[in-house]
């Protein structure tokens, strides 16, 4: 009887197991042991903690996963659970992490857990307590990123904390650029892009935010709208990798406003930035009356971006029409020759009185035929260094400028190398219009800064050489064929 009962019991257990399979091991079973802070194992004499804080785990993004989902092949009833513990493979769930981790190419290794601890999955995200970047307590929340990334990138952290971007982060603005916002784009070295392609990406990234600022009618946003048409923007788009983009002038991390004394684009510092590329011009400016005055702390002295603009050539502040009429200055010519920038400051009566200077009207009363001079001579022709190589940015003080008529109106004029319009007229009168134009040294390939004109000239020059070469080749080829035919005919006649 007892045997029959046992058989029935075994059969019932078997049927129950078929209908209700064994339940997989629950997380609570694992945490029953691993929630103990004293749990550890020894590997090569080193103690490794096996503690998992259950409260933190159930607040993480992995709270819905079973322990055995990651820790596979473990026998919970054996201690240790597995003879050889393989590393957890994060890529089993997180496919193609390289698309979102461009800034750490080391993370692309086999499991994402190899390599230095500071650039693998566990080193940044932790195993069991990984939190969503949307969680304010997460180390990857935008408000905490500066400190989290700064644990390794200490110098970059110090620079970024001085930037305008960081001020917005401190104000809890989620739309401000932070470490991951910028570095999840392909803008850093280590990608497969060329230097020029990287710079285009950097430019596009900055413009994607700052062009959106046009709604606020920001002065800087309005100038950025035409950045791609500027000298620098055009050079980048043409594939010149040496041309500067935003980060070259504003720095990478320490982006500050121009009115910040520590900013590299502050009026007192900006010539150093421009001088990285425009070396000779920066040297000229540094020795000029404007550069010297600025070094002494004169905030009214003009600087690079004052005349040339921040992102494009800006329009000069309003100049009363009477300034042009009184001084017989053609406004269009003034704009075309750049004299408009000089007029903008030197016609300001209040500014002139402040520095005990004459206005442009008072300073040139002695000059006869003013209108003719304004059409022929630029301000820098008389007011900049007139010794070769005619440094146009080296503006001289008033007592060293050209004032004597004979210094211009003589055969051995010291300004004759600068008065390009005068030379052109003289050459045309002497040699005629066509010969004067051809013989004029107004333009020689390789001596102009006009890239378009240089390119067109070189192309034309190359086409001419190619045509001459083709012509010579055809002459030689057909002459050779003619000689061969003649020799053949002569041979046949002799044989006949």
> Does some domain include residue 28?
yes
What distance in Å separates the CA atoms of residue 53 and residue 302, rounded to the nearest whole number?
63
Using CA atoms, how far residue 92 sits from 100, 115, 411, in Å, is 16, 18, 85
Higher pLDDT, 389 or 184: 184
pLDDT value of position 49: 85
DSSP-derived secondary structure letter, 19: H
> Does some domain include residue 331?
no
Burial class, 377, CB count within 10 angstroms (exposed 0-12 / middle 13-18 / buried 19+): buried
What distance in Å separates the CA atoms of residue 421 and residue 307, rounded to the nearest whole number?
24
> Does some domain include residue 221?
no
pLDDT value of position 110: 53
Which of the listed residues 86, 117, 146 is the one where a domain comes to its end?
Answer: 86
> Does some domain include residue 478?
yes
Which of the listed residues 86, 121, 136 is the one where a domain comes to its end?
Answer: 86
Which of the listed residues 86, 109, 143 is the one where a domain comes to its end?
Answer: 86
Number of domains in the chain: 2
What distance in Å separates the CA atoms of residue 145 and residue 184, rounded to the nearest whole number?
13
Higher pLDDT, 387 or 403: 403
Using CA atoms, how far residue 466 sits from 455, 463, 475, in Å, is 16, 5, 14
Residues 23-67: pLDDT tens digits?
A: 557 888 888 888 888 888 887 788 888 888 888 888 888 888 888
Q: Report the candidate in 12, 15, 31, 128 with the shortest Cα–Cα distance to residue 76.
A: 31
Residue 222 has pLDDT above 60, yes or no: yes
Using CA atoms, how far residue 31 sits from 4, 36, 67, in Å, is 41, 8, 9
Range of the domain at 487: 445-496
Overall average pLDDT of the 253-269 stretch: 90
Q: Under 8 Å CB-to-CB from 339, ≥6 apart: which residues? A: 329, 333, 374, 378, 379
Cα 284-384-352 angle, rounded to 5 deg: 105
What is the widest separation between alpha-carbon atoms in the chain?
140
> Does some domain include residue 471?
yes
> Does some domain include residue 222?
no
Residue 427 has pLDDT above 90, yes or no: no
pLDDT value of position 1: 60
> Does some domain include residue 424?
no
Point out the least confidently predicted range of 225-229, 259-263, 302-306: 225-229
């Amino acid at each position: 009887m007892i045997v029959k009962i046992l058989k029935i019991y075994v059969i019932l257990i078997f049927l129950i197991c078929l209908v209700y399979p064994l339940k997989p091991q629950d997380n609570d079973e694992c945490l029953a042991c691993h929630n103990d802070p004293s749990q550890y194992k020894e590997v090569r004499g080193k103690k490794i903690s096996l503690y998992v804080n259950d409260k933190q785990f159930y607040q993480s993004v992995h709270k819905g996963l079973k322990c055995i989902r990651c820790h596979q092949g473990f026998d919970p009833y054996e201690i240790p659970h597995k003879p050889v513990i393989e590393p957890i493979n994060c890529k089993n769930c997180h496919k193609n992490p390289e698309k979102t981790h461009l800034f750490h190419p080391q993370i692309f290794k086999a499991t994402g857990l190899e390599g230095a601890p500071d650039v693998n999955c566990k080193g940044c995200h932790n195993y069991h307590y990984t939190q969503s970047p949307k969680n304010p307590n997460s180390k990857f929340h935008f408000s905490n990123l500066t400190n989290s990334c700064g644990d390794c990138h200490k110098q970059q952290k110090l620079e970024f904390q001085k930037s305008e971007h960081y001020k917005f982060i401190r104000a809890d603005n989620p739309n401000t650029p932070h470490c991951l916002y910028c570095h999840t784009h392909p803008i850093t070295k280590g990608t497969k892009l060329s230097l020029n392609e990287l710079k285009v990406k950097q430019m596009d990234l900055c413009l994607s935010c700052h062009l959106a600022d046009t709604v606020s009618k920001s002065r800087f946003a309005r100038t950025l709208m035409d950045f791609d048409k500027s000298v620098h923007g055009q050079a980048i788009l043409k594939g010149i990798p040496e041309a500067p983009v935003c980060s070259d002038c504003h720095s990478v991390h320490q982006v500050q406003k121009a009115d910040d004394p520590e900013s590299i684009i502050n009026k007192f510092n900006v010539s150093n930035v421009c001088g990285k590329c425009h070396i000779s011009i920066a040297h000229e400016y540094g020795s000029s009356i404007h550069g010297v005055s600025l070094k002494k702390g004169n905030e009214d002295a003009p600087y690079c971006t004052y005349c040339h603009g921040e992102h494009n050539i800006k329009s000069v502040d309003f100049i009363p029409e009477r300034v042009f009429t009184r001084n017989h200055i053609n406004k269009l010519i003034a704009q075309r020759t750049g004299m408009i920038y000089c007029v903008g400051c030197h016609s300001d009566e209040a500014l002139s009185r402040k520095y005990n200077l004459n206005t442009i009207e008072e300073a040139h009363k002695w000059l006869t035929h003013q209108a003719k001079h304004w059409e022929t001579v630029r301000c820098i022709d008389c007011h900049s260094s007139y010794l070769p190589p005619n440094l146009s940015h080296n503006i001289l003080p008033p007592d060293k400028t050209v004032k004597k008529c004979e210094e211009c109106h003589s055969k051995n004029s010291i300004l004759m190398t600068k008065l390009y319009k005068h030379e052109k007229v003289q050459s045309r009168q002497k040699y005629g219009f066509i010969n004067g134009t051809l013989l004029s040294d107004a333009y020689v390939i390789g001596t102009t800064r006009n890239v378009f004109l240089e390119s067109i000239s070189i192309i034309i020059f190359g086409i001419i050489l190619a045509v001459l070469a083709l012509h010579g080749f055809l002459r030689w080829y057909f002459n050779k064929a003619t000689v061969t035919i003649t020799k053949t005919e002569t041979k046949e006649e002799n044989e006949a």
